[in-house]
Amino acid sequence: MRTRVGFLGAGRIARALAGGLLRSEGDSWELVASTRTRESGEGFGKAVPQARLYSEERNCDLVRESDIVFLCVKPQEVPGVLRQIQPATAGKWIVSVAAGVSLAALVAEAAPSARVIRAMPNLPVLIGRGVIPYCLGPGWDAGDREGAKKLLRRFGEAVEIDEKLFPLATVLAGCGPAYFCAFLAPLLRFAAESGLPGSEARRMLLSTFSGTAELLRQTDLDPNEAVQESRTPGGITHAALTVLEQREWPETLRRALDAALRRAKTLEEA
Ligand SMILES: NC(=O)c1ccc[n+]([C@@H]2O[C@H](COP(=O)([O-])OP(=O)(O)OC[C@H]3O[C@@H](n4cnc5c(N)ncnc54)[C@H](OP(=O)(O)O)[C@@H]3O)[C@@H](O)[C@H]2O)c1
C-alpha cells in the first residue's frame, strides 16, 4: 500500500520522522514537505531526495494531497499554520509534534472529521529506535486507534500517555538524546586527549552504553545496584564517582531536570 504523508515544516524533527518512515518495513510512502524558506527545503531535499517540496503558500495543497500530515513547525507557528490548512483537514490524520501545543488547541482548529494525535518523538526515530509518547484527540474508533499505534511504532516505542504527562515525557524522552550526547562528548574529548583514536573511542563508548542499557533492560537490575557492582572501595570507578559526588553531580542533574520541566510547563501554558 502507498501512503501519502505530508510534513508541514521540514526541519530537524521532520527529517528524522521522514527518515524513520522510509527505513521502516512494509508500506511504501509518498512524501511531501513544506517550508517557509528555500534553504530549509534544501536541507530536507538532501536528506530525503524522494520527497516533493512545497513553499508555505501551498500548505493547503500539501494537506489535501496527504493521508497523514505531520505538523513539524515551531510551537509559535502552529496557530497560523492550523488556520491556513483548516479547510483541507477534513478526514485527515494530523500528527502534531509541537512542544506545548495542546490537543484542545489542535482540535479547535481542525475540521470535525479530522483525527488528531499529539506526539513527542525523539531523535532516534530516524532509525526506528525512538520513543514516541502520544495521546489521541476525540473521534478515534478502535480500528483507527490501532492504526495510529501501528503508524507510530514505525518510529520505535509508541507509548500512549495521559496528556498531562506530556511535559514530563518531553523532559525524559524528548530531551534524553541530548543529555546522553552532552555526557558522551566530554568522554570522547578525554579519550582523544589521552591517546585513543576517535573512531575507536566512539565504538568502545557506544558499545559500553548500549550494552549497559541492554543489561538493565534484560535483567531489571536497579541502576544504583549496578553502580555498587562496579564500585570497589578504593578502586578506579570509586575514584571517578567520588569526584562527581564532591561536585554534587546528582544535585546538579536534578536542578537541570527541574529547569527543563519548568520550561516544558511554561510552554504548555503559553
Ligand atoms: N528537534 C527535536 O528533536 C524535536 C523533538 C520533538 C518535537 N519537536 C518539535 O518539532 C517542531 C519543529 O522543531 P525542529 O527542531 O524540527 O525545528 P526547525 O528545525 O526549526 O524546523 C521548523 C521547520 O518549520 C518550517 N516552517 C516555519 N513556518 C512554516 C510554515 N508557515 N509553513 C511550513 N513550514 C514552516 C521551517 O522553515 P524555515 O526554516 O524556512 O523557517 C522549518 O523547516 C517544534 O514544534 C518542536 O517542539 C522537535
Q: For the chain, 270 residues long, give each residue's pLDDT as a single digit of tens.
A: 789 999 999 999 999 999 999 998 877 899 999 999 988 899 999 999 999 999 999 999 999 999 999 999 999 999 999 999 999 999 999 999 999 999 999 999 999 999 999 999 999 999 999 999 999 999 999 999 999 999 999 999 999 999 999 999 999 999 999 999 999 999 999 999 999 999 999 999 999 999 999 999 999 999 999 999 889 999 999 999 999 999 999 999 999 999 999 999 999 887
Q: What is the pTM of this model?
A: 0.93
Q: Domains of the chain: which residue ranges? A: 2-164, 174-269
Burial 28-52 (b: 16+ CB within 10 A, else e): ebebbbbbbeeebbeebbebbeebe
Task: Fold for 174-269, please state it.
Answer: ProC C-terminal domain-like fold (1.10.3730)
Domain range 2-164, CATH architecture? 3-Layer(aba) Sandwich (3.40)
Check if 121 has its Cβ closer than 6 Å to any atom of ligand 1.
Answer: yes
- Ligand 1 centre to CA of 12 (Å) is 7
Q: Which atom of ligand 1 is nearest to the CA of 75?
A: 45
Check if 66 has its Cβ closer than 6 Å to any atom of ligand 1.
Answer: no
Check if 10 has its Cβ closer than 6 Å to any atom of ligand 1.
Answer: yes
Q: Which atom of ligand 1 is nearest to the CA of 177?
A: 3
**Nearest residue (CA) to ligand 1, atom 2:** 13
Check if 12 has its Cβ closer than 6 Å to any atom of ligand 1.
Answer: yes
User: What pLDDT score was predicted for residue 244?
Assistant: 95
Residues 133/121, Cβ–Cβ less than 8 Å: no
